[in-house]
């Protein structure tokens, strides 16, 4: 009977980690941008001054606060409130991943010095390495890159058209 549950659980875990990974692709640049802001320098110094277990507690706060938004968004979606459900899910996920990624980046060595955290991170990393090695993952990453390149090209063309239209109006 236990074997019966492995396929659905693996499927759910795969979807969950894939969604998190896709959101991480969006939140990574946001976290890097926040990391460069001078306004947050005092917060950065305080966060990096914490010990391993205090860092872990701080790391867990956004997860504990924002993770319940997923069932809430599922409820909203299930009751026919698509837009509010999607907004709750996207906002909570982007906020959670941005904060968690930044906190992890700042305190990675300290967090990995906690044996159970290191084990969990190693397990997560192995699962992500497996997912990233699949053809489906590579195809989705290629399609995402192509879509982003297409959007960038479209943006450049629109900007040049607006500039040339503005220059014509000035003449």
Tens of each residue's pLDDT in the chain, 171 residues? 566 666 676 666 666 666 666 666 777 777 777 777 777 788 888 888 999 999 999 988 888 888 888 889 889 988 989 899 889 988 888 888 788 888 888 899 999 999 999 999 999 899 888 878 877 777 877 887 788 788 888 988 888 887 776 666 666
Count helices and strands in the chain by DSSP H and E runs: 7, 0
Spatial distance between the Cα atoms of 151 and 132, rounded to a whole number of angstroms? 24
Note the pLDDT of residue 139. Answer: 80
Note the pLDDT of residue 13. Answer: 66
**Farthest CA pair distance, the chain:** 78
Note the pLDDT of residue 149. Answer: 87
Contact 100, 62 (CB under 8 A): yes
The tokens for 122 are 């190693």
pLDDT in tens, 108-121: 999 999 999 999 99
- The owner of tokens 């040339």 is 164
Contact 69, 63 (CB under 8 A): no
Note the pLDDT of residue 57. Answer: 92
Note the pLDDT of residue 132. Answer: 80
pLDDT in tens, 28-43: 777 777 777 777 788 8
Note the pLDDT of residue 113. Answer: 94
CB contact set of 60 (below 8 Å; sequence gap of 6+): none
Sign of the C-alpha dihedral, residues 63, 27, 85, 6? negative
Note the pLDDT of residue 112. Answer: 93
């Amino acid at each position: 009977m236990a074997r019966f549950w492995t396929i659905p659980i693996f499927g759910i875990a795969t979807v969950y980690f894939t969604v998190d990974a896709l959101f991480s692709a969006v939140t990574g640049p946001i976290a890097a941008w926040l990391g460069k802001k001078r306004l947050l320098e005092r917060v950065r110094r305080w966060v990096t001054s914490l010990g391993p277990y205090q860092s872990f507690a701080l790391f867990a706060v956004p997860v504990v606060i924002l993770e319940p938004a997923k069932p809430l968004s599922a409820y909203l979606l299930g009751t026919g409130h698509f837009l509010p459900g999607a907004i709750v899910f996207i906002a909570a996920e982007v906020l959670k991943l941005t904060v968690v990624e930044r906190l992890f980046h700042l305190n990675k060595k300290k967090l990995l010095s906690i044996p159970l955290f290191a084990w969990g991170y190693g397990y997560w990393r192995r699962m992500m390495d497996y997912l990233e090695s699949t053809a489906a993952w590579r195809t989705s990453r290629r399609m995402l890159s192509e879509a982003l390149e297409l959007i960038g090209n479209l943006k450049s063309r629109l900007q040049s058209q607006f500039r040339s239209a503005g220059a014509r109006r000035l003449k």
